[in-house]
Amino acid sequence: MSEARGTEFHVSSARPQGGGCINEAWIVGDGENSYFVKLNTSDKLFMFEAESEALGEIGASLTIPVPRPVAHGTASKRSFLVLEALPMGSPKDGSWQAMGQKLAQLHRTTADRFGWHRDNVIGSTPQYNPWTERWADFFREQRLRPQLELARQKGDHYARADQLLDRVDSLLEGHRPAPSLLHGDLWSGNAGFLEDGSPVIYDPATYYGDRETDLAFSEFFGGFSPDFYRAYEEEWPLPPGYERRKILYNLYHVLNHANLFGGGYAGQAESMIRQLLT
């Protein structure tokens, strides 16, 4: 911290933060400044390196605010990520609309291919991001197939998984999305508002992909106001066929939840696969 700031930093307060299932989190301060600190085992440093780079890239887009990364590294056999501690608040009039508009503006930051310059994680699961020309190829080979293979390694088998992989091209036929800069894990737990009501997003799993994937997952658990979606549509309307593609895109997250947490997610994934093959 002292090295990153260029001045001595002496911790005078440390408050544990709940809500995370992957990392330990604290807010630490020196009486003048506060920082949000994530901790994990030393072998997880790559996760924090990727998150820091993702926050930096989203921040550089000058669209939707994110916490500024301050430092990351290892100490005492732990890996750490230090972010600015943001003054969180509640939405005010126009807050949800602003989030929708700014997310659409983020998505207008594009690349010439799908992927990212490095791999990262979704939750704690590896997420592979090799640069790929075709979106259908990227989503099939770097999103669905690794999750299905991980399930097989764990002893879970989805009866029609191979059939679904063969169907991805037809499910995305005629759909030509731009490679948009994505949050990548956009649910209500990874979005909020500052004290002044302005929107902020955090905990990204960033890559360049179809912007519909962010919208799809935002719907999965709920928690986003209808004003958010209306404002997004006004800023950048979604093309026809989104409701069908949404099922395919959310299948990735459901498979990941099944691999991480078990429970009823495997049955939900089976149901989604059947729905997509109908």
Active site residues: 185
The amino acid at residue 160 is R
Q: Torsions phi, psi of 145, nearest 5?
A: -60, -45
User: Is 113 in contact with 131 (CB distance < 8 Å)?
Assistant: yes
Distance between CA atoms of residues 211 and 195, nearest Å? 28
Distance between CA atoms of residues 102 and 98, nearest Å? 6
DSSP label of 44: G
Q: Angle 226-235/212-220 helices, nearest 10 degrees?
A: 170
Identify the bridge partners of residue 209 per DSSP, sorted by sequence position.
Answer: 180
